[in-house]
Amino acid sequence: MRILVVGAGAIGGYFGGRLLQAENDVTFLVRPKRASELASAGLVIKSPGGDVTLDNPPTVQADKLTKKFDVVLLSCKAFDLEDAIKSFTPAVGPQTAIIPLLNGMLHLNVLDKKFGAERVLGGLCAIAVMLNEAREVVQLAPMQSLNFGERDGAMSERVRAIARVFDGGKFGAVASEHIMQDMWEKWVFLASLAASTCLMRTSVGNILAVAGGKDFLLGMLDECSAIAKASGYEPTGPFFQRTSGLLTTEGSPMTASMFRDIKAGLPVEADHVIGDLVARADAAKIPVPKLRIAYTHLKAYEKQRSA
């Protein structure tokens, strides 16, 4: 199975690297600078599950991409999606399966329009990982998983085949028969965490330590959950209990990656993660005052950053 990993940053570098370590046919679609880094230093993964250096991993640049691939693993940020599509389009053939690991749902519409819904699986990952100053992939905690599946819930032969390959990566690959529910639940959690920690500019623990903090966090979770329910994907009891627990753990240092991006002055996925939920709430006539303020805050940050 030929696998094209779009990008070799934190997410793509980790999952693609583990697949390559398991001796799969993996190629990284990268820009010239990243190609040079990988050629000189290799793809370095530092992880609680074991460090590895993959010397001279296979790479290709967009202007040299001509071959078709069986699987495209897409791990870019939402604001890079259009450029990513332009770069990997030559790799998509009639039988190619695209597995996007982006947050939210807007990217599905974009990919469906370009490639046809039959080529686009559902997908998500859960991992705390970053690139350090040496451009090494650093996994910050043992947690790791990658879920994927047919969006209609079928357990197709192509999903089974991908699962057999991904199992070798030993990163918690799950062939899901309810991938859309999985994606919605991750979105609810991520949006609740991102909206809260970005708006308050601090960690869950610090929010909880002040008057009204717990009510604020759980209120944000309730708003996001109500939107999911109205869209036909009501969060399950176990998910809600687990997420509520994470958002009410005293002293928790947890923040969203979006908050860390704000601190670093980087672009954020305001429209994709938060704005789309607000739009869906408006369509369903669901009041979401906390989420709406968080979205306004993020858009103001984007305006300031662009200036």
Residues acting as catalytic residues: 186
**Nearest residue to 273 (alpha-carbon basis) of 238, 237, 299:** 299
What angle do helix axes 179-200 and 213-230 make, rounded to 10 degrees?
Answer: 150
What are the structure tokens assigned to 38, written together?
């990988």
Asked whether the beta carbons of 194 and 258 are under 8 A apart, the reply is yes
Strands 92-100 and 137-149: unpaired
**What's 151's DSSP letter?**
T
Amino acid found at 171: F
Gyration radius (Cα) of the chain, Å: 19
Asked whether the beta carbons of 5 and 16 are under 8 A apart, the reply is yes
